[in-house]
Amino acid sequence: MTQKDDYLKLLQRARSLGATPQQSQGRFVVPQIEGFIEGNNTVISNFADILKKVRREPDVVLPWMLRELGRPGDMEGGRLILRGAVPKATLEKVLNDFVSTQVLCSECSAPDTHIEKQGRAHILRCEACGAHRPIEAASRVATPSTQRAAVQEGDTLQVTIDDVGKRGDGVARYEGFLIFVEGGMKGQTIRVKIDRVNGNMAFAHVVPG
């Protein structure tokens, strides 16, 4: 048992007693990500702490992050281990998106919200002002790790390029894979042939049709 675990326990108890660790006044500050690259993985070492701060369970946050990042990953002892090297800026963007769509009240910007299930709909309800809005249910989204075989060398796939990589390749997301397409341009929906697969990244070229 580390000091950090003790701290988290305390925090949890404080919350169950009705205390709120965030101030309702002022802007909610998205938690800082503490992370590092370890071998072929990216480790977010304070993931449990982030979960506490955004007041969401792992089964809501984890599938969201994996889908947005397009890569497999898992929680291990309060840390989030992601396959591959993920730039910190990317992690921060995904966490920011999560907070703005799944945590903050769109009326008063308070972080004091919770998710209610109404039939198949998920409602984000604000405890500060009572406002509510429907949200996308992140927990229903399949995680990439269950679909890892969806892209294999030699496959021909139709993909949509939604980003451009550092070296100018088009980047498409497909069933949890990131596909780098030589010569692919942002916005294109094209057929590609997979040349090489590395973890959940694949490299492809455009084919006619």
Contact set with Zn ion (CB under 5 A):
105, 107-108, 110, 126, 128-129, 131
Considering beta carbons, is residue 70 or 111 the nearer one to Zn ion? 111
Distance CA 173, CA 69 (A): 9
Residue with Cβ nearer Zn ion (98 or 180)? 98
Smaller CB separation from Zn ion, 81 or 129: 129
Distances (CA, A) of 114 to 9, 131, 135: 20, 11, 11
Residues 61 and 98: beta-carbon distance below 8 Å = yes
Spatial separation of the C-alpha atoms in residues 94 and 69, rounded to whole Å: 7
Shortest approach of Zn ion to residue 30 CB, angstroms? 17
Q: How far is the CB of 131 from Zn ion (least distance, A)?
A: 5
Whole-number Cα distances in Å, 191 to 156, 170, 188 = 7, 12, 10
CB of 29 to Zn ion, least distance (A): 17
Query: What is the smallest separation between the CB atom of 126 and Zn ion, expressed in angstroms?
Result: 3
State in angstroms the smallest separation of the CB of 136 from Zn ion: 19
Q: Which is nearer to Zn ion, 125 or 205 (CB)?
A: 125
In 9-118, DSSP assigns E strands to: 35-38, 41-44, 73-76, 79-83, 113-118
Q: Which residue has the tokens 């992690």?
A: 91
Number of H helices, E strands in the chain: 4, 12
Closest to Zn ion by CB, 28 vs 47, is: 28
